Structure 1
Amino acid sequence: MNKLQIDKLNRKAFDIIYSDIEKAAALTEQAVLLAADLNYTIGIAWGQLNSGLVDMERGQLVESLEKLKQAQHIFNKIGTDFRANAAVLNSLGLVNIRLGKMKQAFIHLQESLEYCEIYSLKSMEYTAMNYLGILQYKSGRYNQALRFFQNSIKLKTEDKTVNVLNNLGCTYRALGQNEKALEFLNKALYQAGEEGMMDARIAILEEQGLTYGQMNDYKQGILKLQSALDICAGSNRRQRPDLYIHIAEQYLKLKDYHMAEDNLQNADELISDSNRVSHREIYLLLSQLEEFKGNAPGALAQYKRYQQLTDLMKSEDLEENLWLLETEQLRKTNTRVAAISKMGQELTAFLERREILNTLSRSFFNLFSIDVCVIGEIPDGDDCLHVDLYTSPEEMSTLDSLEIKNPREVISWVAGNNSGLLINDIEKEIGRYISSYDKNLLALSVSSVLCLPFETGYGRGAIGIYSSQKNKFNDEDRDFMEMLCSFAAIALNNAFQAETIRTKNRELTMLNRYDTLTGIYNRNHILSVMEQGWKQCRRTASFIHIMLLDADHFKKINDTWGHDAGDECLKMIGTVLRDNLQRSSDSYGRYGGEEFLLSLQDLTVDEALAQAERIRDTIENFSVTIGSKTIRLSVSIGVCSIIPGFEDKSVLNDIIKAADNCMYRAKEEGRNLVRSVILKGLR
C-alpha cells in the first residue's frame, strides 16, 4: 500500500461519512493503520480528521473535538494542504455547533471562509456557508440562516444540495412561510431519492409532515410522517419513536383518538428505559388523549407518570390544578422542564469529565441566574471534597480540598451528610447545621444557597448554587436542581466508565503489540510489520534486510546471576535497539527468549551491515549492574539481504531461516560477530 492509495482511502471515507458512516469508519481505520506503518504524516492527519467526523456522527462529541484539534495541529505544521486546512476548520465549526459552543463555532467557520476565499476552495466555502446557516438556525436567527443557506446554494456546482435544501425548508417553516418551506423540501426529497440517501429522505419527510401539520393539513402531514416511518421499518430505531409521536399529535388534532392512542403505544414500546425521560412528552399526549375521551382518572394517571419521570410530582396541589396546564405559570414550568431535559441530553452525551462539569455549571447559570456555582467530588477511599468554583459560565478555579468530617462550609456539610440544604438567609439559618461556619472559606459573599448531594459509581459529591439575594430559591428550584444532579451523576459515571474502557483498550493494545519485558514489539507484531516492509520493498525493487540478533552465553548469565539479571540484559538490548533504530522504516521486536528480529529498509547492503556492527559494538560496550556486580554482554547477529521478487510472502520464513543460519555461523566462529548473506528474489 503506497501513499497514493492511502490518500484514496481517506478521500473516499471523507466523501461518504454522512451517507455511509460504517463504511467510512472501516476505510478510515484501514487508512490510519497503513499511514502509521509508513509514518505518512498527511495520511495520519486525514485519518484523524475522518475519525473525528465519524465520532461526531456517532454522538461522541468530546472525542471528535480532540481528534479534530490533533488533525488541525498536524495540518498547520505541514502548511501545504490547503483543502485539508479548510476541511478541518469546517469540521471544528460543526462539532462546536453540536456542543452548543456557538461563539467558537463561528470563529472557526469565519476563518474557513477567509481561507477558502484566499485559495479559491469553492467546495469548502460552500460547506462553511452551510454550517454558518445551521449555526444561525440553532441560535434562532432564522433570517440570517436563510441568507447563509441561499449563498451556499449559489456556490455549489457539482455535488447535490440535499442538506442545504432541507435546512432551507426547516428555516422557512420556523419563519411560518410554509409554502416556501415545502418548495425546498420537495426539491430536497427528489435529490435524496436520486442519490439513494435513505437517512436524508427520512429527515425530509418528517419535516414535510410537520410543515403540513403547521398548515392544519393533518391528513397530508400524517401521510408524510407515515412514509418516513415506512422507510425506518427494520432500521433507524432511534428515529421511530419521534415519528410515532408526531403522527399521534396530528391524529389528536383530527380527534381520531383511537389512531392517536395506537401510535403513542407504538412509540412507548420503542422507548427504552435509558431514554424515556427524553421522550416524556408522550405521557403528556396520553394525558391529553384521556382528557378528550372524558377519562379524568386516566388522564391524571398519565400525567403522574410524566411527573414521575421528571421528578416534579407536587402532591395534592398539583393534582387539584391538573387541568390548568395552559396557565402562564405551568407554561413557564413546562418550558423550564424542556430546557432541563435538553441539558440532560447534552450532559449524558458527553464522555469527558471536564466537559460535563463545564456544561453543568453553564446550565445552572442559565436556569437560576446565580452568582456562583460550586461542584465538589469525593472519590472512593477519600475523605476530602475536591472543589471547582465557577464565578461565571466561563471562569473556573480549583480550590483546596475541604474537610467533610468537620465541615465549615455548606457544600462540605451536604457532601458529608449526603443531605441537601436550601437556605435563603445564611446568617440566620446556617447555625442550625454548621457551628463553625467560615464565610471566607470560598471567598464568597452570599445570602442564599441551594446545595444537593449526588452519587456516582466511583464516588459521591455535591453541587451548590449561591446568590447574594435573600430568598432566592424555592422548592421548585430544588426539584429542578435534583433533575440536573441526577443527569450529572449519570454523565459522570458514564465518563468514568468510558475512561476505564479506554484505559483497558490501551492496555490490551500494548499487550497485543508489545513485549511486556523489553517494551518493544512482540513476535506477532514484528512479523506483521516485517510483512508490510516486504511488500513495500517489492514495489520499489529495493533491499530489505532481515536480522536475527541473539545474546551470547545467555544461559550462563541466567545460571550464574539469576533470571532477574537475564531480564535486565534483555531490557538493555531493547534500549540499544530503540536508540540506534529511529527511522520510520526501521522495525524491531523480541522474537523469543534472547532472540531479536530486525527489519531494515532504504539501506544498501553495506549500510545495513554497518548498522548491524554499530548495534553489536554498542551492546559489547554496555554493561548491566546487579547490586555490586557488573555484567558484560555480547551478541551474535545474522543478516539476510534480499530484493523481494514475485515470491509468495511465505518466503519470509526462509529469509528468517537464512538470517538464523548466519547468526549460528557467527556463534560457531567465536560469537560477538556479524555474518551475512545476500539472496536473490524472483523478478
Structure 2
Amino acid sequence: MNPEIQSTIDSRLQNGYLLTYKSLKDAQEEAENCLDDSEQALYFKGVINSRILLSLIALRKGETDLARERLTLIEEELNASSSVSEDSLMRMSQVRAAYFLDSAVYKDAFNSFVKCGNMAARLGNNLFQILSANGKGVIKLDQMEFKDAYDYFRVARSYVQGEELSLLNNVLALNIGCALNGLERYDEAFERLNDALEEAGKLGSPMIECSILDEISAMLIKQSRLEEAQNYLEKGLEKSSQHLFQEGHTQVVYHYATLLLKLGEYEKAEKLIEDLDENQVLDLDPIMYHQVAAEIFEQKGDFQKALHSSKEIQKINEKLRSTEVLHSVFKQEKRELQEQNHRLQLVSTIGQELVSTLDLGKILNLIYAQMNVLMPVDLLSISTVKGNEINVKFTLNKGERIEPFTLHKEDTDSIIAWCVRNKQEVFVRSINADASKYVRNLKPMKGNENNLLESVICIPLLHLGELEGVLTVEGKNPNSYNSQDLDNLRALASYVGIAIRNAMQTEQMTELNKLLKYQSSVDSLTGLVNRREFLRQSKNILRVCRRNNFPISLAMIDLDHFKIVNDSYGHHAGDEVLKAFGSLLDDYFKRPLDCVGRYGGEELIILSGNFPAAEAAARVELVREEFSTVEFKSGDNTFNVNFSCGIYGEIPTEDSSDHLNRITALADKYLYRAKEEGRNCSFLSDKKNKPAEKFIFSKSEH
C-alpha cells in the first residue's frame, strides 16, 4: 500500500465531514470516490471510514433506515476483523451518537459523543473533538438546558484551529446563537447569528445560511417582531429553493406558514403547504406537516380536513408511544444491572485510558470528559505537591483551561491546602454547611473568583504513603455529589496518581532530551548551530531547493586578524567578538531556508536557500557595515574587527553526498582569495566554472 495514497484518502475523508455542513451531495460524492480509491488501493481503513461517512450522510439526509443498515454491516465487519484502527472506532462512535441523537435517545447519544471525544483527544484529532463537544451541546439544546449547551459549544470552539475548520466555526457560531436565544439573551443572540449569517455567505454554505435564517426568525417571532421575522423567512425560502436543500426548505416553509397564520394570511399559508412535495415532506417531519395543515384548515373553516390531519397526528403519536413502551419495557428489564455495572466499568475504562497516556494535559481532558458522565463536574483540577508548595498545574472550569497557579501548604483559606496538610479527603456537600470544617474563610479557586462553587471533593493522591498531589472536583449546586460519587473518585484516584507520576517522569525526560539535543546541536559560545547540526540542516535546505529549482548561496566567513585580537586583548575579548558577530549574522539570516553556523574557530558559515549569490553578498555587506561600527573594549582599549568572506552560488541539480563538500570548498577558496586581496571584502562566483570576483556593494541597488 502506498502511504501517500493513504494519506490523501484520509485527508479527503476529513474534508468530507466538513462538506456535510455545506453540501450533502458534494460530501456523498467525495465519500463514494474515497471508497472506490480505497478499494482499488486495498486500503481497509479507508474503506471502513468511507462507509462510516456515507452512513452519516444518509442520516443527515433523513434516510434513517439506510443509515442503520450501513452501520450494522460495518459493525459486523469490524467485529470480524483482527485489526481495527482507533481512528475508525472514533468515527463509528460519532455516527452512533448522531444516530441516537436523531432518535432522541439522549443518554446513549451523550455517552457515544464522550467516547468519540476521548479517542479524538488521544489521537490529537481536533475535528472530532469539535464534533464531540458540539454534539453534546446539541443534546443539551434539545433538552432545553441552554447554559450547559452554551458551555459545550464554547469548549468545541476552543479546538478550532486553522482556516480549514472555519466552516465548523460557523456552525458553532450558529449553535451558540441558539443557546443564547434559549437563555433569552436576545440582543447578544441576534448579533451573533447575524455575524454567523454573513460568514456563512462568505463560506458559500446555503445549508448553514438557511438554518441561521430560520433560527433568527424563530427568535423574532418569540419577541412578536413578526415583520422582521417574515423578511428573514422569505430569504430562507429563496435560499433553500435555489440550492435544493429539502430539509432546510421544509423547516422554513413550516415556520413561514405558522407566521402567516399569526398574520391571518390563511390562503398564502395553505398555498405554501400545498407547494411542498408531500411524500418527501411526510418522510422528513409528518407531525409538523399535519399540525400546520390542521391549523390552516381550522382557520379556514374546513373542519373535515382539519379533523383528518388531527387524526393523522394521533395515529403517528400512538405508533410512537407504542414503540416507546416496548422499548421501555425491554430496557427496564436490564436497567438495574446496567446501572450497577456502568459506573464501575466507566471508572475502570477511565483508569486504563489514563495510565496509557503520558501527556498531563490529555489526562485532565480525559478525566473531565469522562467524569461528566458519572457526575456533574463544573471544575476539575489536578495539583502536584513539592515541599511546602502546591502547584495547581491543570484546571478546567466549564471545559476552559485556567492558567496554573501555586498555593502554600499552610494557606488556611484553601481546601486543597487542608487536604495536603492532613493527607485526608475533603467532602463538602454545601459550602454554607460544611466549609467551616476545613477553612476559616473559603476563597474561590483562582481564575474562578466570581463564581464560588457549592460542592467540593478533594482526594489526596498517595504513593507509598507519600503525598504526590490532589484531585479536586467542584459542582455549582449544593449537594451535587453523594457518597457513590466519593467512592468513584476514590477508585479513580489511584489511576490518576499513577498517570501523573508517569507523565511527570516522561515530561522530565522529554525536557532533559530537549536540553541534550540543544547542547549537542548548538555552539555554546555563539548560540549558532555547530558544524554537525549545520551539515544536517543543510541537507534539508539543499533537498528543498533542488526539488523547487531554487538558487542557493553558501558563504564562508573568517574574522580578520582574530589571532591578534586574542593575543593582544585576551581570549575573553575574542569570545565577546565571536558572540556579537554570531548574533548579528543570526539577525540578518533568519528566513526558513537560512542556516548560520560556527564552522570552527573564527570561521562561520551560512547557507541560504532561494537566495541568489549577489543578494546573499549584499546581505553580508549590510552585516559588514553594521559590524564595522561595533566597538569592543578590553580594559582601557577599544578596537574594531573586520571580516573576509567567500560566496558561491548556483541552482542545485546534483544529488550526491559530496554536493555540500564541493560548494563549501569553493566558498572557502573564494574566502582565501578575499584574504589575499587585502581582507575586509567579499569574493563571489555564481557559476561552477566562473572565476570569483570582488563584490562591489551599491546601496542604491539593494
TM-score w.r.t. the length of structure 2 is: 0.49
Matches of 2:541 and 2:689, distance apart in 1: 15
Matches of 2:574 and 2:518, distance apart in 1: 23
**Could you give the per-residue CA deviations for residues 453-476 of structure 1, whole angstroms, max 9, x where no partner exists?**
1148994224244575559522x4
Task: Report how many residues are paired.
Answer: 429
Alignment-derived partner of residue 438 in structure 1: 442
> How far off is 1:482 after superposition?
0.9
| Contact 2:376/2:480, CA 8 A, preserved across alignment | no
1:486 alignment partner AA: S
| Contact 1:389/1:397, CA 8 A, preserved across alignment | yes
1:383 alignment partner AA: E
| Contact 2:424/2:459, CA 8 A, preserved across alignment | yes
Matches of 2:360 and 2:615, distance apart in 1: 51
| Contact 2:456/2:473, CA 8 A, preserved across alignment | yes
> How far off is 1:632 after superposition?
1.6
1:13 aligns with 2:3: yes
> How far off is 1:550 after superposition?
0.4
1:405 aligns with 2:410: yes
List aligned pairs for 1:79-228, cutoff 5 A: 86=12, 88-89=14-15, 108=18, 110-111=20-21, 116-117=26-27, 123=33, 130-132=51-53, 147-148=66-67, 167-169=71-73, 171=75, 199=83
Alignment-derived partner of residue 535 in structure 2: 527
Matches of 1:435 and 1:644, distance apart in 2: 72
Stretch moving more, 535-544 or 581-590: 535-544
| Contact 2:414/2:439, CA 8 A, preserved across alignment | no
Residue aligned with 1:377, SS: strand
| Contact 1:643/1:681, CA 8 A, preserved across alignment | no
Alignment-derived partner of residue 461 in structure 1: 470
**Could you give the per-residue CA deviations for residues 498-517 of structure 1, whole angstroms, max 9, x where no partner exists?**
43344334334434443333
Matches of 1:134 and 1:494, distance apart in 2: 40
2:683 alignment partner AA: R
> How far off is 1:144 after superposition?
7.8
1:576 aligns with 2:566: no
Alignment-derived partner of residue 572 in structure 2: 564
Change beyond 3 A, Cα 1:662–1:466: closer
Residue aligned with 1:199, SS: coil
1:438 alignment partner AA: L
| Contact 1:647/1:681, CA 8 A, preserved across alignment | no
**Could you give the per-residue CA deviations for residues 577-603 of structure 1, whole angstroms, max 9, x where no partner exists?**
233334554443211111012334556
Alignment-derived partner of residue 342 in structure 2: 335
Alignment-derived partner of residue 228 in structure 2: none
Alignment-derived partner of residue 375 in structure 1: 381
Matches of 1:338 and 1:559, distance apart in 2: 75
2:599 alignment partner AA: Y
| Contact 2:13/2:31, CA 8 A, preserved across alignment | no
> How far off is 1:397 after superposition?
5.3
| Contact 1:616/1:636, CA 8 A, preserved across alignment | no
Alignment-derived partner of residue 550 in structure 1: 558
List aligned pairs for 1:284-433, cutoff 5 A: 332-369=339-376, 372-375=378-381, 377-384=383-390, 386=392, 392=398, 394=399, 402-422=407-427, 433=437
**Could you give the per-residue CA deviations for residues 357-413 of structure 1, whole angstroms, max 9, x where no partner exists?**
24323444431346x545351442453463877664x36656975553242343331
Change beyond 3 A, Cα 1:566–1:365: same
Change beyond 3 A, Cα 1:625–1:418: farther
1:168 alignment partner AA: T
Matches of 2:431 and 2:654, distance apart in 1: 84
TM-score w.r.t. the length of structure 1 is: 0.50
> How far off is 1:452 after superposition?
1.5
Change beyond 3 A, Cα 1:129–1:354: same
| Contact 2:388/2:408, CA 8 A, preserved across alignment | no
Alignment-derived partner of residue 672 in structure 2: 664
> How far off is 1:549 after superposition?
0.6
**Could you give the per-residue CA deviations for residues 597-656 of structure 1, whole angstroms, max 9, x where no partner exists?**
233455655555444444433432334467886542110112345676779643654553
**Could you give the per-residue CA deviations for residues 131-164 of structure 1, whole angstroms, max 9, x where no partner exists?**
5578899x9x9x98864487xxxxxxxxxxxxxx
Percent sequence identity over aligned pairs: 25
| Contact 1:351/1:495, CA 8 A, preserved across alignment | yes
Unaligned runs of 5+ in 1: 1-10, 18-45, 54-83, 94-107, 151-164, 172-180, 193-197, 205-325
| Contact 1:549/1:597, CA 8 A, preserved across alignment | yes
**Could you give the per-residue CA deviations for residues 437-457 of structure 1, whole angstroms, max 9, x where no partner exists?**
537787777776543211489
Give the RMSD, CA atoms, in angstroms. Answer: 5.0
